[in-house]
C-alpha cells in the first residue's frame, strides 16, 4: 500500500514574527499521524498572495494531502480564500447555507451584520464546504488535479472542531490508509548517548519500516518507536517485541510510556501504597514541590515541603544541627542527611526528599563550584540515601535537572 503524504501550511505573519506559537501544526500532525497519514513537512508562510501560491505549488510536488490553516478571517489581511480561488483557477460563489449560519450567529448574539461578515459566506467555486459549527469562516475541501486540499480557520478551537467533526470522516472515505503505530518509552537517569550505547544491538536490528527516535530533555530521554505497514496487528506485535527488547537492555531506567511522567508515576505508586512524602528544598527553591503538586491527586500523598533557603530555616524547621552546618557547610553529605531525616520526622511522612546545592551564578568555591549539589532520600526503613552531583553552571538548568534527578532517586527507592 502506498503511504499517504501530507503537508501542513499555516498562514499568518503573527507566526513568523513569533507573536504566537503555532500549536495548530502539532495538533494536526498528531491527528494525521494517528490516522496513518505521514506528515512530511510543515510550512508557515506570510499573508502574501505570491508566497502562498508558491507554498501550494511546492507542497503539491511532495504531498497527496495539503492541509491549510489561517487567513480566513473577515479583515483585509486575510487573503487565503481568494488566493485559493486563483490557485484553482476559479471564481468565488456565495454559499447559501454558510450565509444562513453567519446570519444566525449574528442574530443570536444581537450583533449587527456588516458587508465584511457577509463575505465570509463566499467560497471558491470548486469547493466542498465543511461546516464550521463554532465560528463564521467555513472549512473547505478541494479535490484538484490529483491532490486534496483542506483549508480551515487558524483559530484553534474552530480548526479542531472542523477537523474532528467534518474532515476525518472525509479523509477515511477518500484515502486508503496504511497502518501506522507509535510507542513512546520514558527513561530517566541516563544520558542519550549512554542509552544509545546500551540499546545499540536492538537499534541496529530494527527493520526499515520501524524507526527509533531519541527525544532528550533535562535528565530524561524519551524513545519513540514508529512503524508503518499494511498489517496493523503484525506491526503491533513487532513494535511490542522491539519495545520489550529495548527495555530489557536498560530495565532500571524505564518507568513509563506515552504521556506519563516521573511525577505522575510516583504519585500512582505512593497513592497505591498509601505512603506519604515530604520535601526539604534548599537550592531547588520549591521546584520539586511544584513538579509534584502539578499532578492532580498529589494531595493524596504529598504532605508538604520546607523550602529552607536560609540556614536558620534548616535549623529551626528541619532540625538540622547548627554544628553540622558549621563543621561541614550547608552543601554536604552530613547536612543533606539531617535535612532529609529531619523533614521526614517534622512533617511525619514515610519518605522525604532533600536537596542542597550551589545554583549560582555566585556562591561557588574551588571545593564546591556552582552546580555542586547533594540530594538525599530518607526511607521508611530508617535508611537514608545521599548522592553528590555536578549539574553544570546554568542556574535554571541546574534547578530543573536536579528536580528530575531527585524524583528519579525517589523512584528507584520506592521500586525496591
Report the site for a copy of itself in 301-330 (rule: CB under 8 A): 302-310, 312-313, 316-317
Q: Which stretch binds a copy of itself (CB under 8 A): 16-24, 86-94, 231-239, 265-273?
A: 16-24
**Chain residues 351-410 in contact with a copy of itself, contact rule CB under 8 A:** 359-363, 371, 389-390, 392-397, 399
Query: Is residue 274 within the footprint of a copy of itself (CB under 8 A)?
Result: no
Q: Output the smallest distance, CB 126 to a copy of itself, in A.
A: 26
Nearer to a copy of itself, 90 or 317 (CB): 317
Can you tell me whether residue 59 is helix, strand or coil?
helix
Kind plus residue range of the DSSP H or E element containing 100: helix 96-108
Nearer to a copy of itself, 305 or 337 (CB): 305
Query: Is residue 39 within the footprint of a copy of itself (CB under 8 A)?
Result: yes
Query: Is residue 345 within the footprint of a copy of itself (CB under 8 A)?
Result: no
Q: Which stretch binds a copy of itself (CB under 8 A): 140-148, 192-200, 240-248, 378-386?
A: 192-200
Question: Is residue 42 packed enough to be buried (19+ CB in 10 Å), middle (13-18) or exposed (0-12)?
Answer: middle
Q: Output the smallest distance, CB 166 to a copy of itself, in A.
A: 15
Query: Is residue 213 within the footprint of a copy of itself (CB under 8 A)?
Result: yes
Q: Any idea which residue has 494525521 for its cell?
A: 32
Which of 69, 298, 355, 384 contacts a copy of itself by CB under 8 A?
298
Cell numbers linked to 191: 544520558
Q: If you write DSSP's letter for every residue of 255-316 in order, what string do you get?
A: EEETT--HHHHHHHHHHHHT--EEEEESTTTTHHHHHHHTSTTGGGTEEEEEE--SHHHHHH
Nearer to a copy of itself, 64 or 126 (CB): 64
How many residues in the shown chain lie near a copy of itself by CB under 8 A? 117
Give, as one character, the DSSP assignment of residue 367.
Answer: S
- Rg of the chain on CA atoms, in Å: 28
Q: Cα separation of 221 and 192, whole Å?
A: 6
User: CA-CA distances (angstroms) from residue 345 to 234, 280, 350, 352, 380?
Assistant: 53, 11, 9, 9, 11
Q: Output the smallest distance, CB 267 to a copy of itself, in A.
A: 12
Which of 208, 251, 296, 366 contacts a copy of itself by CB under 8 A?
296
Q: Are strands 210-217 and 179-188 parallel, antiparallel or unpaired?
A: unpaired
Residues 6+ apart with CB under 8 A from 221: 187, 190, 191, 192, 195, 214, 215
Q: Are 308 and 317 in contact (CB under 8 A)?
A: yes
Nearer to a copy of itself, 69 or 126 (CB): 69
Nearer to a copy of itself, 30 or 172 (CB): 30
Can you tell me whether residue 224 is helix, strand or coil?
strand
Q: Are 70 and 212 in contact (CB under 8 A)?
A: no
**Chain residues 98-127 in contact with a copy of itself, contact rule CB under 8 A:** 105, 108-111, 114, 116-117
Q: Cα separation of 128 and 125, whole Å?
A: 9
Nearer to a copy of itself, 107 or 252 (CB): 107
Cell numbers linked to 357: 546545592
Which of 1, 20, 94, 237 contacts a copy of itself by CB under 8 A?
20
Which of 294, 322, 327, 415 contacts a copy of itself by CB under 8 A?
294
Query: Is residue 155 within the footprint of a copy of itself (CB under 8 A)?
Result: yes
Query: Is residue 245 within the footprint of a copy of itself (CB under 8 A)?
Result: no
Question: Is residue 348 packed enough to be buried (19+ CB in 10 Å), middle (13-18) or exposed (0-12)?
Answer: exposed
Cell numbers linked to 264: 505522575
Nearer to a copy of itself, 126 or 324 (CB): 324
Q: Output the smallest distance, CB 247 to a copy of itself, in A.
A: 18
Q: Any idea which residue has 444562513 for its cell?
A: 100
Q: Output the smallest distance, CB 386 to a copy of itself, in A.
A: 16
Residues 6+ apart with CB under 8 A from 9: 42, 43, 44, 45, 52, 55, 56, 59, 66, 67, 68, 69
Interaction pattern, residues 58-97, with a copy of itself; x per rule: CB under 8 A:
x--------------xxxxxx-------------------
Q: Output the smallest distance, CB 9 to a copy of itself, in A.
A: 10
Q: Which stretch binds a copy of itself (CB under 8 A): 263-271, 297-305, 376-384, 407-415?
A: 297-305
Nearer to a copy of itself, 91 or 369 (CB): 369
Amino acid at each position: 500500500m502506498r503511504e499517504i503524504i501530507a503537508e501542513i501550511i499555516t498562514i499568518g505573519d503573527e507566526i513568523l514574527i513569533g507573536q504566537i506559537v503555532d500549536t495548530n501544526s502539532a495538533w494536526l500532525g498528531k491527528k494525521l499521524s494517528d490516522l496513518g497519514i505521514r506528515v512530511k513537512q510543515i510550512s508557515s508562510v506570510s499573508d502574501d498572495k505570491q508566497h502562498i501560491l508558491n507554498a501550494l505549488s511546492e507542497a503539491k510536488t511532495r504531498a497527496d494531502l495539503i492541509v491549510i490553516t489561517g487567513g480566513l478571517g473577515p479583515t483585509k489581511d486575510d487573503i487565503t480564500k481568494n488566493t485559493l480561488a486563483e490557485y484553482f483557477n476559479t471564481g468565488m460563489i456565495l454559499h447559501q447555507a454558510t450565509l444562513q449560519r453567519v446570519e444566525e450567529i449574528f442574530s443570536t448574539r444581537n450583533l449587527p451584520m456588516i458587508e465584511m461578515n457577509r463575505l465570509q459566506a463566499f467560497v471558491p467555486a470548486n469547493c466542498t464546504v465543511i461546516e464550521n459549527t463554532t465560528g463564521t469562516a467555513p472549512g473547505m475541501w478541494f479535490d484538484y488535479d490529483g491532490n486534496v486540499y483542506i483549508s480551515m480557520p487558524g483559530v484553534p478551537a474552530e480548526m479542531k472542531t472542523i477537523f474532528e467533526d467534518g474532515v476525518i470522516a472525509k479523509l477515511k472515505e477518500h484515502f486508503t490508509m496504511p497502518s501506522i503505530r507509535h510507542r513512546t518509552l520514558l527513561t530517566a537517569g541516563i544520558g542519550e548517548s549512554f542509552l544509545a550505547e546500551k540499546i545499540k544491538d536492538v537499534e541496529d536490528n530494527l527493520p526499515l519500516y520501524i524507526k527509533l527516535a531519541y527525544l532528550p530533555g533535562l535528565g530524561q530521554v524519551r524513545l519513540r518507536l514508529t512503524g508503518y505497514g499494511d498489517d496493523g496487528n503484525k506491526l503491533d506485535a513487532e513494535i511490542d517485541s522491539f519495545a520489550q527488547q529495548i527495555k530489557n537492555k536498560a530495565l532500571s531506567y524505564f518507568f513509563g510510556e506515552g504521556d506519563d511522567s516521573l511525577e505522575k508515576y510516583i504519585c500512582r505508586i505512593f497513592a497505591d501504597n498509601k505512603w506519604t512524602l515530604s520535601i526539604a528544598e534548599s537550592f531547588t527553591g520549591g521546584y520539586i514541590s511544584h513538579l509534584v503538586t502539578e499532578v492532580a491527586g498529589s494531595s493524596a500523598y504529598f504532605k508538604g515541603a520546607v523550602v529552607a533557603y536560609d540556614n536558620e530555616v534548616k535549623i529551626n524547621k528541619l532540625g538540622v544541627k547548627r554544628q553540622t552546618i558549621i563543621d561541614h557547610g550547608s552543601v554536604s553529605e552530613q547536612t543533606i542527611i539531617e535535612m532529609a531525616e529531619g523533614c521526614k520526622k517534622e512533617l511525619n511522612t514515610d519518605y522525604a526528599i532533600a536537596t542542597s546545592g550551589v545554583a549560582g551564578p555566585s556562591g561557588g568555591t574551588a571545593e564546591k563550584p556552582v552546580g555542586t549539589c547533594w540530594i538525599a532520600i530518607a526511607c521508611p526503613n530508617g535508611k537514608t540515601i545521599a548522592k553528590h552531583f555536578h549539574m553544570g553552571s546554568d542556574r535554571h538548568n541546574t534547578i530543573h535537572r536536579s528536580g528530575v534527578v531527585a524524583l528519579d532517586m525517589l523512584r528507584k527507592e520506592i521500586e525496591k
